[in-house]
Amino acid sequence: MLLYIAPPFAFGWFGAGVAAPIIWWGVLALMSLGSEYRPSPGYNELKMCPIAFAIALVAFVSIYYAARWLATS
């Protein structure tokens, strides 16, 4: 969990641009697609992955802005 939460928080804390957590999200998304993990034969990757990627992107950007806000306080 630390691998997912710490980099967007650090990007916001140290004042990197908002593109940094978006690039981090893209790297993690590509790594997850390349891992070739299939939970079951009926798993529809084209349906579930975009939903998970969207949730992760919203989480990363919100963690980034929360860290930005905490750093300026």
pLDDT digits (tens, 9 = 90+) for 2-46: 888 899 999 999 989 999 999 998 988 888 777 766 677 777 777
Neighbours of 22 (CB within 10 A): 16
pLDDT at position 73, please? 67
* 28 Cβ contact partners less than 8 Å away, ≥ 6 residues apart: 4, 56
Q: 28 is written with which tokens?
A: 């993690």
Neighbours of 70 (CB within 10 A): 11
* Spatial CA neighbour of 8 closest among 59, 72, 73: 59
pLDDT at position 64, please? 94
